């Protein structure tokens, strides 16, 4: 068992292979947080907690005259608003009498074999070969109205600890949950840096590193989706931490809606991290006997730097979060029609492209937006999920059959959650959208959002999707969502439940995705939200890959994919080779460089095959062969960021290494051409120092490549790239 509780049952120590997490119930029944860090003797670490009279930090009544005991200063496992702790809290409850003051005390705990699951929510699960244990600690408010069940999943081998919270109302009247965050981690000592990933549409997940200073720094989303602007993944590191050294903590939220991630430093220079559903659009009425489950967070710790921390998440998410056939099966190399023809196509044009695609070695043809309803521009048609045969000049089955005859699989685009006012569905059901009575709703991309908190709305859309999927052979679906949510109001809920709509919407989305994946277990689903507007661990439970960004410019993608790689594996990052000049930036980059960058993702193409020149054709064929050859190495290998594209101007380098260290792929994109050349050299990582490796016919000891480095080839043209294969001698 990876969970130890001592004889007095007051200390709980969770252990993974390399980390340890500890809590203690103190004399007043308060659950304190005593340690999270390197694995060691499971000793009671509460000796590190100091008690002093702090003045203006009040004392719980039970402490009597003991002025040195204050929740305002103590490291707590689940701090609650109104307890005398004036820092940011995890829980805020409104009692039936309108008050908020609240205190939580330990009641009991329970140990279980295996990893808990959460009703209706994504959660890390334990594969057959993944040992896992669960601890549930129950606290109760001192007014005896509700329980707080704290869930801990310990996945020892993965070095991952998951957390969730369940609030159970056992009182006599409804409670209003105004804030239920999923995780709090208190650090009594130490200086830290907070790493977050900010951005915007077409520039997602830029890495930002700032010292945690006195006050609060928070990021989050109240856009109804996890958003392009911030990502529900953060790191907390020591100020000295680098890719290779130093203490790093990760916190990842398995949720696709509003979130809050917060780092703060209090009056005693203690650091508190919180993560959970953003309270802005949240107020949940909990009736007597009801339970509310907060989404899961996944925590990881390593003392070996940021690369090692990322690798924990890469492994865990590939192996114990993503599901379905394509978790392990090789994903087909695809051609997507979007940047090729946008909405300007007919069936003939698509079949012509598919013919070219087959000739190039592409395996899946995806018909993106524009095939349904009245949809020649983005102003109309969303909601009418029936094929526009007039536009295509054929039926969907006919088109799919033609494409399959060419030896390709066939995929299709949907945006199930949205609707254009110019659609038959909206004309029939204008009340199905999120819209506040008496106020005109905010539009986004000419569209409104369907009320996915409603079962009837979801059932209708699911039926439409299934009809399409059953009408032809379709092996892939891109599930898009192209706006932020506003006007959060559901026509079916009473006023006191309107604060639940944003969360119920996400539960509705998950419910629908669960039904879809259960009905079509072999379907490859790709998530998308205007590119990477909903790139989060919650979606990965349903869609094993997500379109990373609407920006396909290879040079901009370096930074976007670099930022994404901190919390998510390469196997989940949708990346394509598009045409040049690039549609978003106008930049021209070599075809080989576009492939090098797309290979750090799911790899595919998104260009008009008509535009491919005779010289480019064999190059693309070769790229596809190469990607297939390196597929396992790329998708399952250890991923190393060798440079930071926002800080190192000369070139950007990254590396994939086979877990047995027998093979690696070094990728380099030149960002500058240097006259009168100065050669740069890059130190490789993850090799075995004692092994001999072959690179382009020359032998090098692993130690030389890792300590001395490898000379970066000189770029002779702008943005030239290099893919350098490194293989253990005698395995070539
Ligand atoms: C979004 C997606 C694109 C494409 C378009 C279609 O922007 O991110 O890849 O599918 O929608 O409208």
Task: Indicate the pLDDT class of residue 678, thresholds 50, 70 and 90.
Answer: confident
What CATH number is associated with residue 391? 3.20.20.70
For residues 688 and 694, what is the distance between their CA atoms, to the nearest angstrom? 13
Separation CA 430–CA 421 (nearest Å) = 8
Q: Which pLDDT band holds residue 9 (cuts at 50, 70, 90)? A: confident
Output the CA 341–ligand 1 centroid distance in Å.
12
Q: For residue 16, what are the domain limits?
A: 8-320
> What's the total number of domains in the chain?
3
Distance of CA 361 to the CA centre of its chain: 31
Q: What residue ranges line ligand 1, CB within 6 angstroms?
A: 338, 368-369, 413, 480, 482, 528, 530-531, 547, 550
Instruction: Kindly report the CATH number assigned to the domain that includes residue 722.
Output: 2.60.40.1180
Shared-domain flag, residues 676 and 632: no
User: Would residue 611 show up in a list of annotated catalytic residues for this protein?
Assistant: no
Closest of 229, 202, 205 to residue 583, by C-alpha: 202
Contacts of 608 by beta carbon, 8 Å cutoff, 6+ apart: 340, 341, 353, 579
Distance 338 CA to ligand 1 centre (A): 7
Residues 294 and 351 occupy one common structural domain: no
- Of the candidates 292, 320, 348, which is a domain's last residue? 320
Q: In this structure, which long-range contacts are made by residues 442-446, counting pairs with CB atoms below 8 Å and at least 24 apart in sequence? A: 442/486, 442/487, 444/482, 444/483, 444/484, 444/486, 445/378, 445/482, 445/483, 446/378, 446/379, 446/380, 446/420, 446/421
Q: What is the DSSP string of 368-408?
A: -SSSBSS-SSTTB-TT--SB-HHHHTS-HHHHHHHHHHTT-
Q: Are 591 and 577 in contact (CB under 8 A)?
A: yes
Q: Please state, for a pLDDT cut of 70, what percent of the chain lies above it.
A: 100
Which residue has 């277990």 as its token pair?
Answer: 521
Backbone angles phi, psi at 178, to 5 degrees: -90, -20
Q: Which of 379, 381, 550 to mutate to test the pocket of ligand 1 (most atoms within 8 A of CB)?
A: 550
Give the tokens for residue 57: 């930090």
Q: How far apart are CA 74 and CA 86, in angstroms?
A: 11
Residues 678, 481: Cα–Cα separation, whole Å: 47
Q: Are strands 545-547 and 573-574 parallel, antiparallel or unpaired?
A: parallel
**Which residue has a Cα nearest atom 7 of ligand 1?**
530
User: What are the backbone angles phi and psi of residue 482, rounded to the nearest 5°?
Assistant: -110, 35
| Local confidence band at 6 (pLDDT 50, 70, 90 cut-offs) | confident
**What does the alpha-carbon distance between residue 310 and residue 165 come to, in Å, rounded to a whole number?**
25
Which residue's C-alpha comes closest to atom 6 of ligand 1?
A: 369
Instruction: Answer whether residue 420 shows pLDDT above 90.
Output: yes
What is the C-alpha separation between 272 and 76, in angstroms, rounded?
Answer: 9
Share of the chain above pLDDT 90, in %: 97
In angstroms, rounded to a whole number, what is the distance separating the alpha carbons of residues 217 and 294?
A: 22
Same domain, 459 and 545: yes
Q: Is 536 a catalytic residue?
A: yes
Asked if 422 contacts 374 with a C-beta cutoff of 8 angstroms, the reply is: yes
The verdict on 240 and 343 lying in the same domain is: no
Give the CATH number, domain containing residue 144. 2.70.98.60
Interval between CA 697 and ligand 1 midpoint (Å): 44
Is residue 424 domain-resident? no
Using alpha carbons, select from 161, 121, 158, 142 the residue that is nearest to residue 21. Answer: 161
Q: How confident is the model at residue 679 (pLDDT cuts 50, 70, 90)?
A: confident
Joined together, the tokens standing for residue 657 give 């290494």
Residue bearing the CA closest to ligand 1, atom 2: 530
Asked whether residue 308 falls in the same domain as residue 370, the answer is no
501 is a domain residue: no
DSSP state of 713: P
The CA 480 to ligand 1 mean position distance, Å, reads: 7
The length of the chain, given as a count of residues: 732
Where among 637, 661, 696 does a domain terminate? 637
- pLDDT beyond 90 at 676: no
Q: Give the chain's mean pLDDT.
A: 97
Point out the least confidently predicted range of 174-183, 226-235, 490-499, 645-654.
645-654
Provide the pLDDT for residue 5: 87
Buried b vs exposed e over 192-203: b needs ≥16 C-beta within 10 Å?
bbbbbbbbebbb
Q: Atom 11, ligand 1: which residue's CA is nearest?
A: 530
Residue 142 domain flag = yes
Closest atom of ligand 1 relative to the 529 alpha carbon: 8
Pocket test for ligand 1, best of 375, 414, 445, 482 (most atoms within 8 A of CB): 482
Read off the pLDDT band of 147 (50, 70, 90): very high
Q: How far is the CA of 331 from the centre of ligand 1 (A)?
A: 20
Domain assignment of residue 587, yes or no: yes
587 plus 470 within the same structural domain? yes
Interval between CA 576 and ligand 1 midpoint (Å): 13
> Quick one: 576 and 723 in the same domain?
no
Q: What is the pLDDT of residues 153-200, one digit of tens each?
A: 999 999 999 999 999 999 999 999 999 999 999 999 999 999 999 999
Catalytic-labelled residue, pool 62, 378, 421, 616:
616
In a domain, 29, yes or no: yes
Q: Of the residues 337, 338, 479, which should be mutated to test ligand 1's pocket, given the most ligand atoms within 8 Å of the CB?
A: 338
From 637, 664, 682, give the residue that closes a domain.
637
pLDDT tens track for 513-550: 999 999 999 999 999 999 999 999 999 999 999 999 99
User: In this structure, is residue 183 part of a structural domain?
Assistant: yes
Do residues 655 and 628 share a domain?
A: no
CA separation for the pair 691, 490 (Å, rounded): 63
Instruction: Single out the catalytic residue among 168, 363, 422, 536.
Output: 536
Mark whether 226 and 130 lie in a shared domain. Answer: yes
Mean pLDDT of 616-620: 98
Under 8 Å CB-to-CB from 407, ≥6 apart: which residues?
358
Residues 102 and 223 in one domain: yes
628 and 658, same domain (yes or no): no
Ligand 1 atom closest to Cα of 478? 10
Residue 300 falls inside a structural domain:
yes
Give the Cα-Cα-Cα angle 206, 211, 217 (nearest 5 degrees). Answer: 75
Q: Is 365 helix (H, G, I), strand (E, B) or coil?
A: strand
pLDDT tens digit string along 560-608? 999 999 999 999 999 999 999 999 999 999 999 999 999 999 999 999 9
Question: Using CA positions, which residue lies closest to atom 12 of ligand 1?
Answer: 369
Q: Given ligand 1 and candidates 366, 415, 420, 528, which is best to mutate, with the most ligand atoms within 8 Å of its CB?
A: 528
Q: In this structure, is residue 630 part of a structural domain?
A: yes
**pLDDT reading at 7 higher than 80:** no
For residue 721, how far is its CA from the centre of ligand 1 (angstroms)?
28
Query: What is the Å distance from ligand 1's center to 373 Cα?
Result: 17
Spatial CA neighbour of 612 closest among 632, 642, 591: 591
**Do 622 and 662 have their domain in common?**
no
User: How far is 246 from 304, CA to CA, in rounded Å?
Assistant: 5
């Amino acid at each position: 068992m990876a969970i130890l509780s001592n004889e007095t049952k007051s200390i709980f120590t969770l252990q993974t292979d390399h980390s340890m997490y500890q809590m203690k119930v103190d004399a007043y029944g308060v659950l304190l947080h005593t340690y999270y860090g390197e694995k060691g003797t499971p000793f009671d670490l509460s000796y590190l907690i100091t008690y002093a009279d702090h003045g203006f930090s009040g004392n719980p009544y039970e402490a009597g005259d003991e002025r040195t005991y204050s929740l305002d200063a103590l490291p707590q496992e689940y701090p609650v608003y109104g307890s005398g702790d004036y820092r940011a809290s995890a829980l805020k409850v409104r009692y039936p009498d309108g008050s908020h003051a609240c205190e939580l005390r330990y009641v009991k705990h329970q140990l279980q074999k295996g990893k808990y699951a959460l009703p209706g929510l994504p959660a890390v699960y334990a594969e057959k070969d993944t040992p896992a244990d669960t601890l549930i600690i129950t606290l109760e408010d001192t007014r005896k109205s509700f329980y707080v069940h704290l869930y801990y999943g310990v996945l020892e081998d993965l070095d991952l600890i998951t957390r969730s919270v369940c609030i159970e109302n056992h009182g006599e009247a409804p409670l209003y949950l105004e804030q239920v965050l999923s995780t709090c981690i208190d650090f009594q000592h130490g200086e830290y840096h907070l790493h977050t990933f900010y951005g915007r549409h077409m520039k997602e997940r830029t890495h930002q590193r700032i010292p945690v200073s006195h006050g609060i720094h928070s990021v989050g989303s109240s856009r109804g989706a996890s958003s392009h602007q911030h990502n529900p993944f953060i790191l907390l590191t020591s100020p000295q931490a680098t890719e290779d050294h130093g203490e790093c903590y990760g916190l990842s939220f398995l949720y696709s809606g509003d979130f809050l991630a917060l780092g703060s430093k209090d009056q005693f220079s203690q650091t508190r991290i919180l993560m959970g559903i953003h309270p802005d659009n949240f107020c949940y009425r909990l009736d007597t006997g009801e339970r509310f489950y907060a989404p899961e967070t996944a925590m990881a710790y390593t003392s070996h730097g940021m690369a090692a921390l990322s690798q924990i998440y890469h492994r865990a998410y590939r192996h114990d979060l993503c599901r379905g056939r394509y978790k392990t099966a090789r994903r087909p190399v695809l051609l997507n029609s979007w940047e090729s023809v946008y909405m300007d196509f007919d069936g003939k044009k698509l079949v012509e492209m598919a013919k070219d695609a087959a000739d190039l070695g592409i395996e899946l043809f995806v018909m993106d937006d524009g095939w349904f309803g009245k949809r020649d521009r983005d102003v109309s048609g969303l909601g009418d999920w029936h094929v526009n045969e007039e536009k295509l000049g054929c039926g969907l089955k006919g088109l799919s059959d033609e494409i399959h005859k060419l030896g390709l699989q066939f995929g299709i685009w949907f945006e199930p959650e949205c609707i254009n006012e110019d659609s038959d569905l909206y004309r029939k059901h204008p009340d199905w959208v999120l819209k506040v009575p008496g106020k005109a709703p905010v539009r986004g991309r000419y569209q409104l959002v369907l009320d996915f908190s409603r079962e009837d709305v979801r059932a209708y859309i699911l039926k439409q999707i299934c009809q399409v999927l059953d009408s032809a052979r379709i092996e892939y679906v891109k599930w898009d969502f192209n706006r932020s949510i506003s006007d959060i109001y559901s026509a079916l809920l009473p006023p006191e439940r309107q604060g639940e709509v944003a969360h119920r919407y996400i539960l509705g989305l998950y419910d629908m995705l669960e039904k879809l994946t259960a009905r079509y277990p072999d379907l490859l689903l790709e998530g998308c939200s205007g590119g990477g507007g909903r790139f989060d661990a919650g979606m990965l439970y349903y869609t094993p890959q997500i379109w990373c960004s609407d920006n396909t410019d290879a040079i901009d993608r370096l930074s976007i994919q670099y930022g994404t790689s901190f919390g998510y594996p390469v196997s989940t990052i949708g990346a394509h080779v598009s045409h040049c000049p690039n549609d978003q930036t106008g930049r021209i980059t070599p075809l080989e460089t576009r492939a090098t960058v797309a290979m750090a993702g799911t790899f595919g193409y998104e260009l008009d095959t008509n535009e491919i020149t005779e010289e480019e054709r064999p190059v693309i064929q070769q790229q596809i062969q190469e990607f297939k050859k390196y597929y396992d190495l790329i998708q399952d290998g250890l991923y190393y960021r060798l440079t930071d594209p926002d800080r190192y101007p000369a070139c950007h380098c990254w590396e994939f290494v086979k877990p047995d260290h027998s093979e690696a792929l070094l990728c380099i994109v030149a960002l500058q051409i240097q006259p009168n050349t100065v050669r740069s050299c890059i130190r490789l990582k993850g090799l075995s120092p004692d092994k001999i490796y072959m690179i382009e016919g020359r032998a090098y000891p692993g130690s030389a490549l890792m300590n001395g480095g490898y000379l970066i080839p000189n770029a002779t043209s702008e943005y030239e790239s290099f893919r350098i294969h490194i293989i253990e001698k005698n395995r070539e």
